[in-house]
């Protein structure tokens, strides 16, 4: 079992068509394109239509990953969805997705790790694949962040957008010869290591107060107090912690595999805020040219930012065979983590 190699065999992403630009926000908030861009790096974000749910976005991203991998829904054995905005709390978002894909053999469930959710999802899937319990696993991160915002809070709502990203993982025995051939299910990138961490003590720094058992049933009062929208508490403190954890996680992924962070072709971070990413790069001693960015056109899509950026980098040819890629994330919980992938 320890000899199993875990590979990414397909990636996919999906962004809603509707674009909400900073100029659109100027019309309803006391803000400007310049103010938003300088503080966040965001110029526009995508917004899902009212009748589109998290599992709908996830389905489109998943189908694209499956097409790239040459794997059909009947081949899926495990679906792990990372999200903090599921269609419903029960059934899970992954259950809805399983039905929409027609993946009748698959076991499906959600995980909640906020903006670090995709890395946590990779870690969960890796354990099942390494034991041999499953061979093909879909990890998808999907969010409709626009529906948990207080759109009068100009400090916070300007950051967020909607979208989904997915990766198909497969386990390979050392003896298999399909690692880099052109047959369906070939390995594109090998996951060398995954590292995850959490700190529940400081979890309230990034918080959605409503929707759980402590504000149930939902009341007029809880809605009036906007308890069901995302809050950023102690924002300055959160930024300092985020920079530290982003960098530590990237360093952990590199050092665990005997390389330097600078040896990686790309650092693909959670797209939190351009200032955080600039400080992360400075702390790591690398150029921003090594940091793969999508924040300007998509904003912060919580758990989905990393797989969306990864898919874009794969499809654009920015990632080539032999490249090392570091994924690094930080989110509410508090959660942080990283992964090193060799293409």
Active site residues: 115, 270, 300
Helix (H) / strand (E) element for 43: namely none
Spatial strand order of the sheet with 107-111 comes to: 107-111, 78-82, 136-144, 162-172, 5-14, 189-198, 335-342, 324-331, 266-269
Q: Which of 330, 147, 114 is nearest to 229 (CA)?
A: 147
H-helix segments, the chain: 22-26, 33-40, 54-69, 93-101, 117-131, 220-224, 235-255, 274-284, 295-298, 305-316
Query: For residues 332 and 234, is the Cβ–Cβ distance under 8 A?
Result: no
CB-count exposure of residue 285 (10 Å: 0-12, 13-18, 19+): exposed
CA 276 vs CA 87, 242, 279, 281, 283: distances in Å: 30, 7, 5, 9, 10
Between β-strands 107-111 and 162-172, what pairing exists: parallel, antiparallel or unpaired? Answer: unpaired
Q: To which residue do tokens 């794969």 refer?
A: 314
Residue 287, token pair as written in the block: 């150029």
- State how far the Cα of 210 lies from the Cα of 227, in Å rounded to an integer: 5
């Amino acid at each position: 079992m320890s000899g199993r190699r875990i590979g990414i065999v397909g990636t996919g992403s999906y962004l809603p068509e509707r674009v909400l630009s900073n100029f659109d926000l100027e019309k309803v908030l006391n803000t400007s394109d310049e103010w938003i861009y300088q503080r966040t790096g965001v110029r526009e974000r995508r917004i899902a239509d009212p009748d589109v749910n998290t599992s709908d976005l996830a389905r489109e991203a998943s189908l694209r990953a499956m097409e790239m991998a040459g794997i059909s829904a009947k081949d899926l054995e495990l679906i792990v969805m990372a999200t903090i905005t599921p269609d419903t709390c029960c059934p899970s978002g992954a259950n809805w997705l399983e039905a929409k894909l027609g993946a009748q053999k698959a076991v499906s469930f959600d995980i909640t790790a906020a903006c670090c959710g995709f890395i946590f999802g990779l870690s969960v899937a890796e354990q099942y694949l390494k034991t041999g319990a499953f061979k093909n696993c879909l990890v998808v991160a999907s969010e409709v962040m626009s529906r948990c915002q207080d759109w009068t809070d100009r400090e916070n709502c300007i950051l967020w957008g909607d979208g989904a990203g997915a990766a198909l993982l497969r386990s390979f025995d050392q003896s298999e010869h399909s690692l880099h051939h052109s047959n369906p299910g070939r390995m594109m990138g090998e996951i060398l290591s995954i590292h995850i961490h959490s700190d529940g003590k400081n979890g309230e720094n990034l918080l959605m107060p409503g929707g759980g058992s402590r504000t149930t049933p939902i009341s007029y009062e809880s809605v009036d107090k906007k308890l069901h929208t995302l809050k950023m508490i102690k924002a300055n403190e959160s930024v300092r912690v985020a920079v530290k954890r982003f960098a530590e996680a990237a360093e952990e992924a590199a050092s665990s595999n005997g390389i330097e962070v600078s040896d990686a072709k790309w650092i693909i971070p959670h797209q939190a805020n351009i200032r955080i990413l600039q400080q992360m790069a400075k702390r790591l001693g690398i150029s921003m040219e090594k940091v793969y960015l999508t924040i300007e056109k998509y904003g912060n899509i919580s758990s989905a930012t990393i797989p969306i950026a990864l898919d874009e980098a794969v499809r654009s040819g920015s990632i080539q065979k032999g490249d090392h890629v570091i994924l690094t994330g930080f989110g509410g919980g508090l959660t942080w983590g990283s992964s090193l992938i060799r293409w």
